Chains A and B, each alone.
Chain A
Amino acid sequence: MTQKPWETSALPAPGRRRPGRLEERARCLSFVSLLLLTAITSVSEAASRFRPLDPKEPIRFPKDHGAHDDARIEWWYVTGHLSSPSGDQFGYQLTFFRAGLLDEPAGSRSSRWAARDLHLAHFARTDLAKKEFRYAERSQRSGPEAAFARGETLDVANGAWRLLELGGRFVLLARDGADELSLLLEPEKPPVLHGEKGLSRKGPEPDAVSKYVSFTRMRTTGWLRTARGVFAVTGSSWMDHEWGSGSIGRESAGWDWFSIQLDDGREVMLYQIRGKEGAPTRFTSGTLVEKDGRTQPLLADDFTVTVLDRWKSEKSGAIYPSKWRVEVPGAGLEMVVTPVLPDQELITNRSTFVTYWEGACEVKSSGQRAVVLGKAYVEMTGYAGKGALGILSGAGGEKK
């Protein structure tokens, strides 16, 4: 067996790129937002590729798992909790963003390089035993073998990172330096349509809506490689898919989002859109998923989230909530959500320009003798002074 060039000692270790190039990349991308604005505002309304969401249009699967070319922004968000037979526990997050760049109708360009979209992606994993959190990001223009998001069925890629559907099951691949993830996800429940038949309102503006669907519980098997070895893992994942063309979150300071998988077979999704003053607005809602898959929308009055602790990031200076009491009285739930590791912050200056916190959490009952109720992933944006959605909000907001 010949030695692979990347295994030679003379080459810098993976991930240890030349100084300078990284900065170069970073600089590169600080213009993505600028570019998005110029690109979008310069094209006439008449032949616009992007359409506002049609609330009446029903969501159909598997087609709607795939990309929506007429939506300005779209993302697929997968988070999960994994454990190996040896008892190691991990959390992971893999996110694919697609931001429409050129306002050209599909099929108007013959070259596959036509930069219709920007593709950004984040990959993070948390090693509970080592108390280690690592993340990576990627950004590319659409191009052959570079990055794409197909319609019809779910198949998104950004370099070697990929998420695709194969006959009702989903394959997830990601790799960065020593970290590599290869998972098979099998939905245990049908897809959940949040809001009104999938239409989720995010702000007071008429177009501040998105279509939002989730697989809230997916049986997960596969393997995970970290610097300390390869682990055969099993666990449970959660996949969100959201798309829209409107100004999502323009009036808000950020949001807090919870995906809770309870050991009793139920799941809870909650989000709070925070106003400029920091207090949750009325566009705060959620979904309760019963064991049998039936769903029940949760309105702002149906639940409360109380911050119990805070954590200050040394890197960004942002102060994040770090422990919550979550109560859903209607479901008989009173939970304390605690991060497995305080620092699960992503500073994404090479892709989306959002500094946010997204991390694995454990869910216990409140009180002296806390009982483990389940696991959760929590996302918090807008605590580091930047926009809640970074360049994505720019893309959505600057409509003519």
Chain B
Amino acid sequence: MTLYWALFSGLVIRPARRDRLRFLLTIAGIAIGVATVAAIRLANASVLSSFSSTVDLVAGRATLTILADGPGIPEDVLGRIAWLERIGAATAPAVSEMAAVAGPAGEVVEVLGIDPMSDAAVRPYVLERVEEGHGPGVSGEETLATLFSLFQKDTLLLPAPLSARLKAGPGDTVRLVAQGQERSFRVAGVLEPSGPARAASGAIVFADIATVQEAFGKTGRIDRIDIVTPEGTSLADLTRLQEEIASSLPAGISAGRPERRTETVDRMVRAFRVNLTALGLIALLVGVSFVYNTLSISVLRRRTDIGTFRALGASRGQVFLTFLAEGAFLGVTGGALGIVLGVALARLALAMVGGTVTDFYSPAARTELTIDPSILGFAFLTGVAASVFSSLAPALEAAAVPPAAAMRHGSVEALRRKGTVPLGLAGAASFVLAFLATLPGPVNGLPVFGFLSVFLSVAGSSLLAPAAVTTAARLLEAVARRVLGPVARIARANLSGSLSRTSVAVAALAMGIGMLVSVAVMVGSFRDTVILWIDQTLAADLFVTPASGRSNVSFGKLPQEFVDRVASLPSVAGWDAFLGFSATRDGVPFTVGSGRLDFIASQGNLPLVSGGDPRTLATTVRQKREVLVSEPYAVKFGVKTGDVIAVPGPRGDVTVRVGGVYVDYSNDRGTVLFDREMFCELFELDGAVSVAILLKPGLTPEEGIRKLREAFGEHFAVRIRTNSALRADALRLFDRTFAVTYALELVAITVAVLGVFNTLLALVIERRREIALLRVLGASERRVKEAVVFEAGVIGALGAGMGAATGAVMSFVLIHVINKQSFGWTIATHVPWLFLTAATLVVFVTTLLASWHPARLAAGVEPASALREE
């Protein structure tokens, strides 16, 4: 034990104290990597857990929930499951909707329509205690009496915190936007924030089914039926019951465990999460390359000390373990710091990820960060494991040091150089494998091989780094010496003389720049493609959606009456109305939508994947009663023009032929697009979620808005956006979605530049004697400084060059493999040259700047004292 401690303190702690900065940087590198992974996973898990807790709270005591794949459950199916009563099961139907509290900053709330008579058996409601009440709480009887008062039209119950926020107590009025109209609801009672009243983070109100059906235009439909089976029902019985219920119901309506809705949402955000985690892992990879670098240097610098310890009786194993312990120590410290940083970062990431996820999936959810220890543990252990793993090679090297032998480290480097060629070959092979990995399709909807390809590219570029450094050194030898003289010679000697360190610095920088390049190319291409698509698609002048309070995303729908009135306005030259619903097929979510194909036939605003003329296609699809599918749908479900697909309808499946595939970047779930008339008839729906208006020539958008407002007065609570405003909103949403990736790029670059700094610093510290010797031989301070800066320049240039090359490969994989497989979008490659050049230059200059401190340190080496050290 004492020996271990002596070894550890002599070989790890003391040197660490001496090179405090280098150690701190290494730890920072790991910390950033660990923090990134932790933050992304925490943010995602929080979003998901808030969703799943809402699902659980709404499900209450239910052991089974009946949900529809298609547009809701026709309420008359309740009769088909009336037999459930005979086995002692309680059933509670419910309608769920979303509404904004009236006003521009109104919050978004979930509205759950229940049958108060049957609901208490499923969801435990607790009425808020009135202060001056005599008893300890409110009796169940009072609660039920309040629940029953929901039978009155347009009354609701709300949780106490929401009641406080809205300043609405029992008897007061709450105004909600329903179907694009403000509607008053009387507060029948206030609930304790427990049970269902905690769902959607408390942004939820409860009303009678009839009230919700009428206010939100959903007469005849319910969204779920919760079933409480008798206590003691076994899992096998539940499964059998599930089948029995399914056979009682139309196709597409089925019973399942209540949690399955969480699974669907999990599936929705999975691609998003996996992609971000992969990027985070690359940041971690850059971080742990630090460990290798630092430990390699440690081993080289302390060969003499290791030899001495070996002579004093330390075994190979003990030395090996000591350096492994150093790796672990770095990993543990960096990991610990990383999870602290990760939690802080997660709050930031939550704002972004949470924003993105809720924008797309559930505007009512207000997510709070939940710190899941297992995620922190995972990130921490990943950091430690990666550190220990990357310290294996240096530790083995240390263990190989013979007792008391003070072998010059140059001879080790000579050994390394021999390894350059095999390593280079392995790198080349890695790139070949990376190419091969782009060929297979997605695994379970995830681009697993795509990510493998990215990692192989990164590995390939790292493995090629020593060869690149050696080649660069040789080139310098041949060409630059004549031009630059001794400076180049010192630099060359340093570069190839310390191949193990410089190549790691180059590889790290290449990784960072590769990431920057690939992500910038991907996002840039995507953005350009989307802008082009928006130009082709947004044909109308004005877009009307129901008012959505403080949420940017619109939800709910406008009644048919509104659509009819818009169509009859004299200022309107043409109009389109979008209406749709979320559907699932075997648990995979997609959208079933509708628009007016005759509008598309006249405007041609639906670019096709085939590049054909949308006008003629829209006309024939409409005549033949076919449908169009979006590209993500075609990719996800493997569907092509001419195929027959089944769409869940209110009374079983609707089968239709696919007439064509159109380009759509508005959602990655995939859309089946029907002509409005056919859609309304098949799915028994009316109204619109948005209405697009083409104004009569000569009218400005502002005049158009004024005329609309005049026509509708205060009756409708709608948001009207002009073409340019909608375009700006779309791009803002796009940029917000990708803000996370920009942040990650920044992290990777920072880590990589820190790596260059770290390497240079190590080189300078290690070569004090050589620098002193040079000084003694007549090199000026300036020469020495220049040599270090030059070295930095070479590392920077090599890193940038290799990074650009790797980045090009990775961007190809990101655009054509990962994006295509996870989202199904075709993106036209567009290289943002200006940005890339500027960014690379910035990185290069930063690398040079990073050499400033090591250069000064080198210049400050006092020949006499440095030489005396030995």
Residue ranges of A at the interface with B (Cβ–Cβ < 8 Å): 3-6, 8, 10-12, 14-18, 21, 24-25, 27-28, 30-32, 34-35, 38-39, 42, 101-102, 104, 109-115, 139-141, 143-146, 159-160, 175
Contact = CB atoms under 8 A, between A and B. Distances in A.
A12 to B, nearest CB: 5
Contacts of B208: 113, 115
A7 to B, nearest CB: 9
Interface stretch (B76-84, B100-108, B728-736, B754-762): B76-84
B233 interface: yes
Contacts of B210: 109, 111-115
A114 B78 CA distance: 16
B712 interface: no
A30 B234 CA distance: 33
Contacts of B211: 111
Contact of B79 (A32, A115, A145): A145
B170 interface: no
Contact of A27 (B83, B144, B149): B144
Contact of B240 (A8, A38, A101, A104): A8
Given A24-B121, A144-B75, A159 B232 contact: no
22 contacts: A5-B237, A6-B86, A11-B230, A12-B230, A15-B88, A21-B121, A27-B141, A28-B117, A28-B120, A28-B144, A31-B141, A31-B148, A39-B152, A42-B152, A111-B210, A112-B220, A113-B208, A113-B213, A115-B210, A146-B78, A160-B85, A175-B86
A3 B79 contact: no
A39 B153 CA distance: 11
Contacts of A104: 153
Nearest to A38: B149
B19 interface: no
Contact of B209 (A15, A102, A111, A160): A111
Given A11-B233, A111-B213, A115-B210, A5 B140 contact: no
Nearest to B247: A2
A14 B86 CA distance: 6
A36 to B, nearest CB: 10
B76 A144 contact: yes
B117 A8 contact: no
Contact of B78 (A31, A111, A145): A145
A195 to B, nearest CB: 34
Interface of B: 75-79, 82-83, 85-88, 90, 115-117, 120-121, 140-141, 144-145, 148-149, 151-153, 208-211, 213-214, 219-220, 229-234, 236-237, 240-241, 244
Given A14-B86, A115-B208, A32 B148 contact: yes
Contacts of B219: 110-112
A39 B149 CA distance: 8
Contacts of A35: 145, 148-149, 151
B156 to A, nearest CB: 15
Given A31-B144, A42-B152, 9 more contacts: A10-B236, A10-B237, A12-B230, A21-B90, A25-B121, A109-B214, A112-B219, A144-B75, A144-B79
Contact of A5 (B79, B87, B152): B87
Decide if the interface of chain B is mainly helix, strand, loop or mixed: helix
B237 A141 contact: no
B220 A5 contact: no
Contacts of A102: 151-153
Contacts of A42: 152
B209 to A, nearest CB: 4
Contacts of B230: 11-12, 17-18
A160 B81 CA distance: 11
Contact of A109 (B141, B153, B232): B153
A48 to B, nearest CB: 16
Nearest to A19: B231
A183 B214 CA distance: 39
A4 B244 contact: yes
Q: Which residue, of A3, A15, A24, A31, has the highest number of chain B Cβ atoms within 10 A?
A: A31
Contacts of B75: 112-113, 144-145
Contacts of B148: 31-32, 34-35
A188 B83 CA distance: 34
Contacts of B85: 159-160
A101 to B, nearest CB: 6
Contacts of A112: 75, 210, 219-220
Nearest to B151: A115
Q: Which residue, of A5, A24, A114, has the highest number of chain B Cβ atoms within 10 A?
A: A5
Contact of B88 (A17, A25, A27, A145): A17
Given A109-B210, A113-B208, A115-B210, A10 B115 contact: no
B115 A143 contact: yes
Contacts of B209: 111, 113, 143
A22 to B, nearest CB: 10
Nearest to B242: A5
B90 A14 contact: no
Nearest to A101: B151
A144 B148 CA distance: 18
Contacts of B234: 10
A8 B86 CA distance: 13
A141 B148 CA distance: 10
A11 B145 contact: no
Contacts of A28: 117, 120, 144
A14 B220 contact: no
A173 B210 CA distance: 28
Contact of A39 (B86, B151, B231): B151
A143 B232 CA distance: 30
Given A5-B240, A102-B152, A144-B78, A30 B232 contact: no
Contacts of A144: 75-76, 78-79
Given A10-B232, A145-B78, A159-B82, A18 B149 contact: no
Contacts of B241: 5
Contacts of B116: 141
A10 to B, nearest CB: 5
A360 B551 CA distance: 66
Nearest to A8: B237
B153 to A, nearest CB: 7
A30 B229 CA distance: 24
A143 B211 CA distance: 13
Contact of A160 (B76, B82, B117, B233): B82
Contacts of A113: 75, 115, 208-210, 213
Contacts of B141: 27, 30-31
B515 to A, nearest CB: 55
A110 B220 CA distance: 9
B232 A111 contact: no
B208 to A, nearest CB: 7
A283 B672 CA distance: 70
Nearest to A14: B86
Q: Which residue, of A16, A113, A144, has the highest number of chain B Cβ atoms within 10 A?
A: A113
Contacts of B232: 10-12
B127 to A, nearest CB: 13
B115 A14 contact: no
A367 B79 CA distance: 54
A3 B76 CA distance: 26
B88 A12 contact: yes
Q: Which residue, of A16, A104, A114, has the highest number of chain B Cβ atoms within 10 A?
A: A114
Contacts of B231: 12, 18
Contacts of B76: 144-145
B122 to A, nearest CB: 11
B117 A140 contact: yes
B140 A27 contact: yes
A101 B210 CA distance: 14
Contact of A6 (B79, B83, B115, B145): B83
Nearest to B217: A110
Nearest to A43: B152
B120 A24 contact: yes
Nearest to A31: B145
Contacts of A6: 83, 86-87
